[in-house]
Structure 1
Amino acid sequence: MMIRPAELAAIKAGTVDLAFRRWARPRVVVGTRMRTAVGVIEVTSVDPAGRITAEDARRAGAPSLTALEHALAARPDDPAWRIGLVYAGPDPREALRETVPDAAEIEVINARLARLDKASAYGAWTRATLDLIDLNPTVRAPDLAAMVGRETADFKKDVRKLKELGLTESLDIGYLLSPRGQAVVDAALPVPRDREPPPAGTRLPKIGAPATRALRNAGITTLEQVSVLTGDQLAALHGVGPMAIDRLREALAEAGLTLGG
């Protein structure tokens, strides 16, 4: 179930608790938990939409009842569904990524990695992939896959398995090893790997690859750097659209910052 970034932020804030979709049959059930850019969103109800009111539209984050009805008119042959939603907390993988394992935990993780290698038709891949990401942070997945002669889709599927273990983090462009992943890699090396420290400041939120690339090309990698720009200056960067600017404004507000000007 796709939810737009602005709606995700509103669900987290508690100002949106409904969504309306046209589906031939429900694609979620009560209790479904979706990991999103803002954390875990839980489905609390799934019912035929019935009559939709202006209050329903407000609770769904639509600008008006007319706008919501227009959006639902795109698939008139499918029934409309009313989906209750609630913010259920941060993605547990976030905390896991920051948890540096001790020697006993590293042995357990190594055993998990060995099982993944053994189950793969591709052969042993976990260590090589961790090293590849560690040595090439924020590089596009297709480029990483090409470096090891793999199809991008299969490569990304395997990286998601490492992400479930808290070893990697997906960015809008490429990946990073988490502190947990770095500890696992370093434990297998004679000496810990020398890595560039992360940029000082608050990391940018996920705003899509085009916007991330535009900011990166401008040398902007933190919210503090964004805060010195005006909205017009942001919009002038090719690839930074209205949705990205809205998400940046939300992230700035959460960090106690605002756009300049």
Structure 2
Amino acid sequence: MLIRQPTLEAIAAGAVTTVFRRWDRPRVRPGGTQRTSVGVLEFTAVEPVDLAQLTAQDALAAGYADLAALRKAQEGDGQLYRIRLRPAGPDPRVALRSQATLSAAERAELAQRLDRLDRASRHGPWTAAVLDLIGAHPGTRAPDLAERLGRETLPFKRDVRKLKELGLTESLPVGYRLSPRGQAFVRG
């Protein structure tokens, strides 16, 4: 679920505890989590609601100035859902990617996972080439990096996200860079 940065910051500060979305079916579940730029969020309730049932308390919980502003923002098609959420801790990838040294066992495990990603790929081995490219060109736009490898941008970005899950890369405002963990792995 896409949540804008100002809303994420308000959630982290405790000022916003509810968001609203119009969907054909719920896209999140109570007890589910989502990693964001401000840490992990936990969804505590997902309830269908009618626009007419919204209250001033809903508006305050969602960070709107008043009920009229909330109702205006929620007009549209699809079922309206009230999603209650809360901060659930830091993104575990932050600690993982800051790891600047790797034990032999950690290095072997990472190599095994990267090998699995390479074997599962329809376009052949890619992990080493992408790590080397990001290491050599930090902060470069994803379309430019993808072009250097002769790849389409969206599949390339999906692959970079897989490396990010392993704590090897991190996103920048533009492009990516190797994390300390990624640098330690590449250095060998």
Normalised-by-shorter TM-score class: over 0.9
Letter in 2 for 1:85: L
Deviation at 1:53, TM superposition (A): 1.1
Q: Is the 8 A contact 1:20 1:49 kept in 2?
A: no
Deviations along 1:93-128, whole A, 9 cap, x unmatched? 000001132122111111111111111121111111
1:169 lines up with 2:163 in the alignment = no
Query: Displaced runs of 4+ in structure 1, greater than 2 A?
Result: none
Cα distance between partner residues in 2 of 1:48 and 1:78: 10
> Any residues of structure 2 matched to 1:62-81 within 5 Å, and which?
62-73=64-75, 75=76, 77-81=77-81
Conserved 8 A contact 1:32-1:43: yes
Q: Relative to total residues, which structure has the larger strand share, 1 or 2?
A: 2
Partners of 1:11 and 1:177 in 2: CA distance: 29
Secondary structure in structure 1 of the residue aligned to 2:81: strand
Q: CA deviation at 1:141?
A: 0.4
Distance in 2 separating the partners of 1:7 and 1:144: 31
Unaligned runs of 5+ in 2: none
RMSD over equivalenced CA pairs, Å: 1.1
Partner residue, 1:11:
11
Read off the aligned partner of 2:61 and give its amino acid letter: R
Trace 1:136-147 onto structure 2 (pairs within 5 A): 136-147=137-148
Query: Is the Cα–Cα contact under 8 Å of residues 58 and 64 in structure 1 kept in the other structure?
Result: yes
3-state SS, counterpart of residue 127 of structure 1: helix
DSSP-derived class of the 1:30 partner: coil
Structure 2 counterpart of 1:33, which letter?
A: T
Paired letter, 2:74: L
AA aligned opposite 1:169: E
| 2:66 matches 1:54 | no
Q: How many residues end up aligned between the 2 structures? A: 185
2:135 alignment counterpart: 134
- Give 2:89's aligned residue: 89
C-alpha distance in 2, partners of 1:169/1:183?
Answer: 14
Matches of 2:20 and 2:143, distance apart in 1: 35
Equivalent residue, structure 1, for 2:151: 150
C-alpha displacement of 1:21: 1.7
C-alpha contact 1:117 1:123 (8 A) present in aligned 2: yes
State the Cα distance separating 1:36 from its structure 2 match. 1.0
Match of 1:114?
A: 115
Secondary structure at the counterpart of residue 149 of structure 1: coil
Q: Which runs of 5+ in 1 are unaligned?
A: 188-261
Note the 1:159-238 alignment, pairs <5 A: 159-187=160-188
Identity percentage of aligned residues: 57
Give CA-to-partner distance per residue, 1:228-256, whole Å, 9 cap, x none: xxxxxxxxxxxxxxxxxxxxxxxxxxxxx
TM-score by length of 1: 0.69
After TM superposition, the structure 1 = structure 2 runs for residues 35-50 of structure 1, keeping only pairs within 5 Å, are 35-50=35-50
Match of 1:196 in 2: none
* Superposed displacement of residue 2, structure 1: 1.7
2-side partners of 1:119 and 1:48: how far apart?
39
- The residue type paired with residue 125 of structure 1 is W
Instruction: Quote the Cα distance in structure 2 between the aligned partners of 1:175 and 1:39.
Output: 19
Report how far residue 12 of structure 1 moved: 0.7
The 3-state SS of whatever aligns with 1:34 is strand
Task: Give secondary structure in 2 for the equivalent of 1:111.
Answer: helix
CA distance in 2, matches of 1:78, 1:158: 32
